[in-house]
Structure 1
Amino acid sequence: MFKKILIANRGEIACRVIKTARKMGIKTVAVYSDADRNALHVKMADEAVHIGPPQANQSYIVIDKIMDAIRQTGAEAVHPGYGFLSENPKFAQALEAEGVAFIGPPVRAIEAMGDKITSKKIAQEAGVSTVPGYMGLIADAEDAVKISNEVGYPVMIKASAGGGGKGMRIAWNDDEAREGFQSSKNEAASSFGDDRIFIEKFVTQPRHIEIQVLADSHGNTIYLNERECSIQRRNQKVVEEAPSPFLDEETRAAMGKQSCELAKAVGYASAGTVEFIVDGEKNFYFLEMNTRLQVEHPVTELITGVDLVEQMIRVAYGEVLSLKQSDIGINGWSIENRLYAEDPYRGFLPSIGRLTRYRPPAEVAEKTHAVRNDTGVFEGGEISMYYDPMIAKLCTWAPTRSDAIEEMRNALDAFEIEGIGHNLPFLAAVMDHPIFISGDMTTAFIEEQYPDGFSGVVPDEKTNARLAAVAAHVKMRKEARAAQISGAMANHKRRIAPDWVVYVGKDQFRVSITEDNGCTTVAFEDGQTMEVVSDWTLGCRLFEGSVGGTPMIVKTDFIRDGARLRYRGADLNVVVRTPRQAELVAKMPEKVPRDTSKMLLCPMPGLIVSIAVEEGQEIQEGQALCTIEAMKMENILRAERKGRVSAIKAAAGDSLQVDEIIMEFE
């Protein structure tokens, strides 16, 4: 077996590979840019080599720098992770020439499947069902419009060398085809160094289901069931699960067989994934084959018990697969939530900054349930603008889908993150959404269920009552502590007023609080009572306990006159006042927020790529105003209404922070 491997990647996937290498007794080498000098993968590896500036095209995807690191450390093999050089045949060739093993498929397979145009042609020849489209190269935006009309709208414009949602746009008309072509081309060039674009029919009401394959260099190929990846945003997967709640055994077997046939057709050896679009009638169409480890591979590992990274390493070493198709079953259900550094309240735009608090839920691996958190960050570390915004992949497993969902709800409730915007509230909302719970979702789920964006969860009155009880309990403990410190009276409990008014969202609760032996009883004005049982103490950010007989995990922070409570996607400032305070506050005027309706504010930290209008120009609703790049993605900002540009405050090349003014309108 290899004695030392280098991981040509960063972040959570580098940490993931290091964990398996440790288990196998293999030494590891990390590479890092200036931005990653203190990164977790650098700390975890046995050795680390600096490879350049923060920009990926000057460090992580520069083949010569990776080869120098290999020579410096004497690494015998390289695991590329995903993204960066993982599907670059020139990198695999360079390793081969150096006599270093590539922990991935042969160069021929990478070339054939890494190019989405070529891969579709091979898939058709191998008898795999494919989506109609134009597989040739597209000259320019007008050519894209012409082809789109021939294929028939809607169409998907995709980068030939793309992946991870980069370089992909859906176009419903000629204008969107022009814009989408140029944006896809730009993203493809910056992310992959290859700006070739192709167009295919966009299947409406689709589900995104993929098959995990595993093959060795001795002719053995198996599939490890499927993953459902239909919860997506901008073609970037957000929630994955295994198995799919939609497939039956017959369809699963058919998709698995075709996937294995495709792998054999290109002489595949390693772990790989064949992605399909599946319609409501269970007709499936080949999308692409990813010749690498997938981000969502943990859900497959949790239902099969197979360590895919270990299998990749063993195959690269030349071993025969120890698994046969008959060995692969489906044990329980697993769900993965991708935790991103992005602000769900601002259209999921990227967020950067320091993780002032990062406390994942405890990892568990038991017969009845499991919690797994694959991450590449730590408390005090920074989320950089240079790389993918993923913070962690939170996974749960249980014997049934409903149990796995409940495990995920609790894990999300217990996950503490501060310092940056993140999508935890949105993920919690998805886990409670009736369509997700039913399993009857499509890739349009986010677009259809959140057409105006995500504005948070508004709990029902029953949940608000429980949160009011939590806030009252927290207030009681705070007041008791203050009385103890003051030393004003030996029996401090008698100094605490029992009656309070609790404001939760738009609901107002008048309550009376009593406490006995650590149990707080909250009596509501309407006659109902709730017992709050918890060992929560001042200074603890997580309230874990029972409220009215319902188990709850609530994130708590003190605010003036109350607490900030976060629970199941809701983020509420809960105010607790005395009846007299409530009476006086009711007489106070409300503060009116600043009017920004005539300003275009920068929605995220990013770089102005271009300004599409001029001062004095009349604009129409939906018109493109400017393009901002952040975390390798271009974002076009559009006019919300008709108007005239009165002033432009930024220019192409400027780096802006959140809420900086880009332009003003009359």
Structure 2
Amino acid sequence: MFEKILIANRGEIACRVIKSARKMGIKTVAVYSDADREALHVRMADEAVHIGPSPSSESYLVMERIIQACKDTGAQAVHPGYGFLSENSVFCEALEAQGIAFIGPATLAINSMGDKITSKNLAEKAGVNVIPGYTDVVRDAEHAVEISNGIGYPVMLKASAGGGGKGMRVAWNEAECRDGFERATNEARSSFGDDRVFIEKFIEEPRHIEIQVMADTHGNVIYLGERECSIQRRHQKVIEEAPSPFIDEATRKEMGEQAVKLAKAVQYRSAGTVEFIVDAKRNFYFLEMNTRLQVEHPVTELVTGQDLVELMIRVANGEALPLKQADVKLTGWAMESRVYAEDPFRNFLPSIGRLVKYEPPEGENVRVDTGVYEGGEVSMFYDPMIAKLITYGATRNEAIVRMQDALDAYCIQGVRHNISFLNALMVHPRFIEGRLTTNFIAEEYPDGFDASCVPQDDPAKSIVIAAMIHRQYMDRAARMSGQLQGHERRVNDEWVVVIGGEQHAVTVVAADDGYQVTYADNSYQVSTEWAFGQPLLHSTINGKSATFQVERSGLWLRLFHRGNQIDALVLTPRAAELHALMPEKEAPDLSKFLLSPMPGLLVKVSVVEGQEVKAGEELAVVEAMKMENVLRASQDGVVASVKAEAGDSLKVDQVIIEFE
């Protein structure tokens, strides 16, 4: 067995590999850029080697530096994780030339399956169902339009070397096809150094379901069930689960056998994933094969009981798989939520900064794969993923409820995050029923995501908790006052909770085991061991447990529960009367400015001073977290001045363009 391996990656996947290696008694080497000098994977590894500046193109993608790090530390093998160099055959060959093992497939499979055009042709020859489309390289935008007209809209433009949702665009007409081709090629060039794009028919009402395969160098290939990955936003997976609530045993067997057939056709070894698109009648078509470990691999691990990283390491060491297809059993249900540093209330704009507070949830059948820690930073240079939250249950509903509770208890402060959105998905009736397609998010939130999109199981809970917290503060203040004056000051029982301009009268009295809160003629017995300043409030309300995240700003309380974000102000009845008379502060008029909605790199300014622009016209392109974001005019106008230029690093709300 290897004595030392190097992980050519960062973040949560580097930490994940280190955990399995440590369990196997293998020493690990981390590599890091300037931005990752204090990263968690660097702290966890036995050794760490600096490989360059913060941009991945100058560090994690420079294979010569990684190979040199292997030589300097004596690492005998490299685990590439996913992304970066994980599907780069040149890197694989360079390692082999130096006598360093690659913990992944051989170059034949990487070259064949890593390229989507080649893989589709090979899949068809191997007898795997494929989607109609054009698999040769598309020359330019006009060629893309010509091909798309022949296939019939809608079509999907996809980067040949793509992955992770980058270099992908759906086009419903010629104009979108031209624009999509430009965006897809730019993103592909930026992310993968390969701007080739191909086109295929876009299947409506699809499910994205993938098969996990594992193969060794002795000719053994097995499949370990499927994963449902249909909940996506901008082609980026958000929620994954295993097994799929849609696939029956017969379809699972057929999909698995086709996946194995494809793996054998390219002499596959190690872990790999064959992705399929499935229609409403369970017809399935080959999408692509990822010749690496997938982000969502933990759900497969939980329902099969297998450590995929350990299997990859053993296969790379020349060992045979320790199990046959008949040994693979799917038990229970697993859910995975991708926790990102992004603001769902501002159209999912990425967020960067220091994690002032970071407390991941704990408990039975709750797993958190992360690469961050309290006090660490989320950088603008890499993917905005904070962690993967995984829960397991005997049934799908049990896994969902456990995920709801775990999301409530996931405390992140210092950067914006998508936990409210994830919990809103988890409580959505359609999700709970399992009626999923890749269009789920677009269909359920057509106008974007905001607090009104989140169904509340009981709106009274937040009112009751806000009133109880305020009463606790008042009781403490009274005790402090009593110490100074020699007697306790009496605390009012009558209060008004103000939420969203609406006033809710409540009565709060102390009880032996907590507080008794009366609201809307209903009585709520609340007990908790919460202490002032704690970000998480675990409580029981009328005997049922409920967890809230609590933030305090001046007199205001912000509560998070089941995807809801509520700002509450608790006042005396008289103060509430006066508060209702206060005029609302008007927001400043920013309509004459184009502001950067996120921190990032200004890739392009599309207008000049004095130019007339029409609503919908492209104004600028900002790249953040490896994705291009086109900023368009919201109304007609004239450019008064351009305040930034291509190449500038932008802050949130920095002025890019001023209009007359």
TM-score by length of structure 2 reads: 0.98
Deviations for 1:307-359, whole angstroms, at most 9, x for unmatched residues?
A: 00000001111111111111111111100000111111221121111111111
Partner-residue secondary structure (3-state), 1:463 = coil
Q: Name 1:429's counterpart in structure 2.
A: 424
Q: Name 2:576's counterpart in structure 1.
A: 582
Deviations for 1:124-158, whole angstroms, at most 9, x for unmatched residues?
A: 00000011111111211221121121221111111
Q: Name 1:252's counterpart in structure 2.
A: 252
Partner-residue secondary structure (3-state), 1:495 = coil
Q: CA RMSD for the aligned pairs?
A: 1.4
1:643 matches 2:637: yes
Q: Name 2:404's counterpart in structure 1.
A: 409
Q: Name 1:271's counterpart in structure 2.
A: 271
- CA contact 2:126–2:261 (8 Å) conserved in 1: yes
Q: What amino acid is the match of 2:137?
A: L
Deviation for aligned residue 1:360: 0.4
Q: What amino acid is the match of 1:513?
A: V
Q: What amino acid is the match of 2:386?
A: I
Deviations for 1:576-599, whole angstroms, at most 9, x for unmatched residues?
A: 000110111122111111122332
- CA contact 1:647–1:665 (8 Å) conserved in 2: yes
- CA contact 1:220–1:321 (8 Å) conserved in 2: yes
**Cα distance in 1 for residues equivalent to 2:230 and 2:48:** 37
> Which of these residues, 617, 621, 625, is aligned with residue 631 of structure 1?
625
**Cα distance in 2 for residues equivalent to 1:387 and 1:512:** 49
Q: What amino acid is the match of 1:521?
A: Q
Deviations for 1:159-203, whole angstroms, at most 9, x for unmatched residues?
A: 111111111111112222122112211111121111111111111
Q: Name 2:611's counterpart in structure 1.
A: 617
1:504 matches 2:499: yes
**Cα distance in 2 for residues equivalent to 1:413 and 1:276:** 33
Q: Name 1:657's counterpart in structure 2.
A: 651
Deviation for aligned residue 1:560: 3.0
1:235-384 mapped onto 2 (5 Å cutoff):
235-362=235-362, 364-365=363-364, 370-384=365-379
Partner-residue secondary structure (3-state), 1:18 = helix
1:527-606 mapped onto 2 (5 Å cutoff):
527-606=521-600
TM-aligned CA distance change 1:507 to 1:57, over 3 Å: same
Deviations for 1:75-124, whole angstroms, at most 9, x for unmatched residues?
A: 11110000011000011111111111110011101110001100000000
Deviations for 1:371-426, whole angstroms, at most 9, x for unmatched residues?
A: 00000011111111111111100000000111111100110000011111211111
Q: Name 1:234's counterpart in structure 2.
A: 234
Q: What amino acid is the match of 1:522?
A: V
Deviations for 1:519-542, whole angstroms, at most 9, x for unmatched residues?
A: 200122x32111111111212221
Q: What amino acid is the match of 1:481?
A: R
> Which of these residues, 379, 383, 389, is aligned with residue 384 of structure 2?
389
Q: Name 2:9's counterpart in structure 1.
A: 9
Q: Name 1:29's counterpart in structure 2.
A: 29
- CA contact 1:502–1:577 (8 Å) conserved in 2: yes
Partner-residue secondary structure (3-state), 2:604 = strand
1:140-219 mapped onto 2 (5 Å cutoff):
140-219=140-219
Deviation for aligned residue 1:459: 6.3
Deviation for aligned residue 1:290: 0.2
**Cα distance in 1 for residues equivalent to 2:214 and 2:306:** 11
Q: Name 2:511's counterpart in structure 1.
A: 516
> Which of these residues, 466, 479, 494, is aligned with residue 474 of structure 2?
479
TM-aligned CA distance change 1:604 to 1:340, over 3 Å: same
Partner-residue secondary structure (3-state), 1:482 = helix
**Cα distance in 2 for residues equivalent to 1:254 and 1:641:** 52
Q: Name 2:393's counterpart in structure 1.
A: 398
- Where in structure 2 are there 5+ consecutive unaligned residues? none
- CA contact 1:208–1:443 (8 Å) conserved in 2: yes
1:453 matches 2:456: no
- CA contact 2:350–2:599 (8 Å) conserved in 1: yes
1:418 matches 2:413: yes
Q: What amino acid is the match of 1:656?
A: L
Q: What amino acid is the match of 1:556?
A: V
Partner-residue secondary structure (3-state), 1:60 = coil
Q: What amino acid is the match of 1:630?
A: A
- CA contact 2:427–2:455 (8 Å) conserved in 1: no
Deviation for aligned residue 1:491: 6.0
Q: What amino acid is the match of 2:44?
A: M
Deviations for 1:418-470, whole angstroms, at most 9, x for unmatched residues?
A: 11121111111111111111111111111111112111246678733211111
| More off after superposition, 31-40 vs 595-604 | 595-604
> Which of these residues, 478, 495, 520, is aligned with residue 490 of structure 2?
495
Report the identity percentage: 60
**Cα distance in 2 for residues equivalent to 1:559 and 1:353:** 19
**Cα distance in 2 for residues equivalent to 1:52 and 1:639:** 38
- CA contact 1:466–1:548 (8 Å) conserved in 2: no
1:118 matches 2:128: no
Q: What amino acid is the match of 2:499?
A: V
TM-aligned CA distance change 1:77 to 1:460, over 3 Å: closer
**Cα distance in 1 for residues equivalent to 2:62 and 2:454:** 49
TM-score by length of structure 1 reads: 0.97
Deviation for aligned residue 1:644: 3.0
- CA contact 2:424–2:454 (8 Å) conserved in 1: no
**Cα distance in 1 for residues equivalent to 2:518 and 2:312:** 59
**Cα distance in 1 for residues equivalent to 2:250 and 2:256:** 10
**Cα distance in 2 for residues equivalent to 1:283 and 1:621:** 42
Q: Name 1:54's counterpart in structure 2.
A: 54
| More off after superposition, 621-630 vs 15-24 | 621-630
1:85 matches 2:85: yes
Q: What amino acid is the match of 2:272?
A: G
Q: Name 2:132's counterpart in structure 1.
A: 132
**Cα distance in 2 for residues equivalent to 1:67 and 1:462:** 54
**Cα distance in 2 for residues equivalent to 1:147 and 1:663:** 37
**Cα distance in 2 for residues equivalent to 1:197 and 1:460:** 40
- CA contact 1:475–1:562 (8 Å) conserved in 2: no
Deviation for aligned residue 1:645: 2.8
- Where in structure 1 are there 5+ consecutive unaligned residues? none
Deviation for aligned residue 1:506: 4.7
- CA contact 1:464–1:507 (8 Å) conserved in 2: no
TM-aligned CA distance change 1:5 to 1:459, over 3 Å: closer
| More off after superposition, 648-657 vs 278-287 | 648-657
**Cα distance in 2 for residues equivalent to 1:573 and 1:515:** 24
| More off after superposition, 647-656 vs 442-451 | 647-656
TM-aligned CA distance change 1:166 to 1:21, over 3 Å: same
- CA contact 1:561–1:577 (8 Å) conserved in 2: no
- CA contact 1:457–1:569 (8 Å) conserved in 2: no
Q: What amino acid is the match of 2:504?
A: F
| More off after superposition, 642-651 vs 150-159 | 642-651
